Structure 1
Amino acid sequence: MSFDLVLFGGTGDLAWRKLMPALFQAFRHGTLPPDGRIIGIARDDLSDAQYRELIRSRFHDVELAKRPSPEEFDRFAELLHFLRLDLSHPEDFRRLADTLRERHADTVVMYLATAPDLFLRVVEQLAGAGLNTPNTRIVLEKPLGHDLASNRQINDAVRAVLSERQIFRIDHYLGKPAVQNLFAMRFGNALFEPVWRREHISNIQITIAEDLGAEKRGAFYDKTGALRDMVQNHALQLLCALAMEPPINAHADAIRDEKLKVLRSLSPWTPVSLDQHVVRGQYTAGMVHGHPARAYREEPGVSPESNTETFVALRTDIQNWRWAGVPFYIRTGKRLASREAQIVVNFRETPHAIFHAPPGSCNRLVINLQPRDGLQLHLLALGQENRRNGQVLTPVHLDLDFDKRFGSERVGAYERLLLDVIAGRLNLFVRSDEQEAAWRWVEPIMEHWANDERGPRPYAAGTWGPSASSAMIARDGFCWPEEC
């Protein structure tokens, strides 16, 4: 199968940090279709040779195991081409059309690795140049809009020139191997389904923590914040994967229908729940891993008076028979104590205790997404007999490390998703009605904050966020993993 992958923003941060390394890994693994062409698009005035050298130099920042040898890169570079293009010039898009017609590839992928406010302009210019053919696919990066209205505007514009099956709204968390194994664990095994419900689960916690700050993305992040950047997409997609009903098959729409049902079942916000069940924070100066870290308002590109949140913690419920009464907790933030993403499923205690056990101990399933990738099942086993208390249970755990188990067979998130786009597989991409349901649910939070003069709660860099986050979960009698 022949393909052309046209990468708008071909010299940008996302291209060289994520997309080019992922495409190279697919090339190295032999999974990238051999008859392919990757065309970088930007306003820079570069030849093909100069573009290839630019990409070569960027691989010095990639982890050692994923760097190409000089010979490997030379072979990969044969796929790389460059076209100078100004998004406001229709004649440049006509030149792109001429370039693509040179060989009539089976599939043409338009990857918009640009600022979201440029999506509409690119889509209109593509249609004007006749590049919205049946073999065209378009990839849209998040955040898709900044609220429900802007999201609808973008989706309407794209659907006006392309069909839904040609639109790939990417959320790279859905491509992570651990998330794929979450689906496999739930729907490929009979072990968990009988206990995956309110009768056996007390609460579920989703944490996406970063130890980095805004870094060089300050200008972008200050307009976005943690709610738009992480909760509306990544965190809610993880919640859907955890809570959805088994789909009737593994087809894309069957999976996305079930995720949509979860989003529509989330408890609507009220003034009381917005005050009690949502916490926003912003990091101040502190110490991260023993090194001083500046405050968010001191980051380049950030307003000194910014009220943009760098931390969000919230509690929600799913109003259906499976999950009624089970709280779901989400927290995400920058400049936290460590970089980790994990899901913790806490099971209820046994109905009648016949052994002595440490206070608060219970079974739990921990799904690690980063930096480790694997599962831990925490159980209670019989330890040494205590003369005073008799038989005493001791916490133990079973640990499955996917990286160790599968080694080099592991496929990274962007690698998997890019290959799926080329192959036309939509299972791991988000449908427009999913996005709208997610925006509809977070909008009351955004509106509440816009009218709240208190602003975000401060927390020192290198901690786990504002103390109000711990107080929120403690009111239900639970605690975050590092506090239990």
Structure 2
Amino acid sequence: MTKERFSTLLLFGATGDLSRRMLLPSLYGLYADGLLPEDVTIIGTARSQLDDEQFREQAHEALREHLPEDFYAKDTADGFVERLSYQAIDATTIDGYQELASRIDLDKGLSIFLSVAPSLFKPTIENLKASGLAGPKVRLALEKPLGTDLESSKVINDAVATAFPEERTFRIDHYLGKETVQNLLALRFANSLFEPLWNASHIDHVQITVAEEVGLEDRAGYYDGAGAVRDMLQNHMLQLLALIAMEPPANYDPTSVREEKVKALKALRPMTEKLAKDEFVLGQYDGYLKELGEKSDTETFVALKAHVDNWRWAGVPFYLRHGKKLARRKTEVHIQFKCVPHSIFAGTGATTHPNELLISIQPEENIRLKMMAKRPGLDRKGIRLREVAMDVTMEGAFADYRRRIAYERLILDLVEGDPTLFVRRDEVEAQWEWIDGLRAAWEQAGMTPETYDAGSRGPDSAIGLVARDRREWND
């Protein structure tokens, strides 16, 4: 696939929350670091009736509000917002699209970032096509949610495909833009220490945790229709699982990397009614219904044991959990290695513990390897061992680098035409196929969410899920 930098970036939903919190600050970061080429212009569009200057003022306000105080600089922000212009559009009608098209030099290429409600995908794409903004030098990036199940996802993908072939479609999962998530690939495939051990012969189990302290905030309408499984498990968590479980790709290129992720996703064991009863937990925090203002069986917590049925991972459980209103915020991958096959220290009374690899993604970015070491001393009563941790903090190891917003990398890759960190159609549909089977299994099992205390570790059943296997969550 040939990479080519396009010179116009078009932001749909430019006055919305995602744009204010993430997209505009990300573009500012690229501009401030000299990574936004001088010939790249940015056009925002939404239903709000604004002129260019009003949009620039709103953008400047968003930068002041959401950028770190030590990174925001008024002079830099003034220079950045001069790159911005605005075109008011109602996505459901053709009005305004022709005027928008007249402002864009398609010979220099156009990248579109589409952040609108899923119901607006189809009319927006139809209007882009009708106004000539879907030609061979136009790329389309799609923000989630991409459907609510496999069938609706296919409808969206089919609508996109009428105007944008797969090689010009960039589906966003912002977790793939996070440095520590990308570090999973570097950790595995740039170090001879780990990859030979990255299999069922040496790994006991894997845990993936995404815990949030917050509740609904201002997302009640969306969240109650989605729930924890659709909102987090279907996309971010399955992408993390795919990166952990995938086979080594031949090269670091879009086709090789994404082919191996798809294979891992398709190797996931389908959930059945029986498995759901034994290996699946749903929860809802105790203040959810009051916060929502109505009755609901929507889950705010999910925990499960997944299996990747291939040679590499046969017999290795993947424990996944996600919830809102939990004790603390964290996103991490925990790799538990097996015990040494024979301890030469058993006769001395010393206890060995299995090695652990902890990859923290947020709020800290950290890689920790736990290993056994001898305690200092003369050992007259036998050798003493202690577990010690080797920490590589990204902040410490790369102190000379600024911690970036995930969207910075994704926007730059979109403009430059690199789809490696974007999700292919068959990936999305493999994820939805497994999730649909999961949802069907818990419905057949008659499962409803178990109430858990806000600020806790989640439902007691989630603790029991791993305790039955004589394991425990990494808390």
TM-score of the two chains, using structure 1 as the length reference: 0.93
Unmatched runs of 5 consecutive residues or more in structure 2: none
The answer to whether 1:401 aligns with 2:393 is yes
Is contact 1:59-1:67 (8 Å) kept? no
Is contact 2:276-2:442 (8 Å) kept? no
In the TM superposition, 1:52-451 aligns within 5 A as 52-65=56-69, 67-100=71-104, 103-104=105-106, 106-284=108-286, 295-299=287-291, 302-355=292-345, 361-384=353-376, 390-409=382-401, 410-450=403-443
Q: Cα offset for 1:450?
A: 4.2
Q: Cα offset for 1:449?
A: 4.1
Q: SS of the counterpart of 1:425?
A: coil
Unmatched runs of 5 consecutive residues or more in structure 1: 285-294
- Paired positions, count: 468
Distance in 1 of aligned mates of 2:133 and 2:350: 64
Is contact 1:21-1:66 (8 Å) kept? no
Distance in 1 of aligned mates of 2:437 and 2:322: 18
Q: SS of the counterpart of 2:95?
A: helix
Distance in 1 of aligned mates of 2:70 and 2:336: 36
Q: Cα offset for 1:469?
A: 0.5
Distance in 2 of aligned mates of 1:28 and 1:66: 13
Give the AA of the match of 1:378: K
Q: Cα offset for 1:201?
A: 0.4
Give the AA of the match of 1:163: P
Structure 2 counterpart of 1:37, from 37, 41, 52: 41
Distance in 2 of aligned mates of 1:157 and 1:48: 31
Is contact 2:6-2:415 (8 Å) kept? no
The alignment's C-alpha RMSD in Å is 1.7
Is contact 2:170-2:423 (8 Å) kept? yes
Q: Cα offset for 1:110?
A: 1.2
Distance in 2 of aligned mates of 1:397 and 1:95: 60
Give the AA of the match of 1:233: N
Q: Cα offset for 1:391?
A: 1.1
Q: Cα offset for 1:85?
A: 0.5
Moved over 3 A (4+): 356-360, 384-389, 448-454
Distance in 1 of aligned mates of 2:417 and 2:379: 65
Q: Cα offset for 1:116?
A: 1.9
Summarize the Cα distance change of 1:336–1:63 in structure 2 as closer, same or farther, 3 Å threshold.
Answer: farther
Is contact 2:8-2:109 (8 Å) kept? yes
Is contact 2:274-2:445 (8 Å) kept? no
Q: What does residue 455 of structure 1 align with?
A: 448
Is contact 1:211-1:339 (8 Å) kept? yes
Q: Cα offset for 1:354?
A: 2.3
Distance in 2 of aligned mates of 1:19 and 1:318: 35
Distance in 2 of aligned mates of 1:233 and 1:142: 9
Is contact 1:4-1:105 (8 Å) kept? no
Distance in 2 of aligned mates of 1:407 and 1:210: 27
The answer to whether 1:23 aligns with 2:40 is no
For residues 377-414 of structure 1, what are the alpha-carbon distances to aligned partners after superposition, in whole Å with 9 as ceiling and x for unaligned?
Answer: 00011114597962121010100011222135244311
TM-score of the two chains, using structure 2 as the length reference: 0.95
Is contact 2:277-2:445 (8 Å) kept? no
Is contact 2:87-2:100 (8 Å) kept? yes
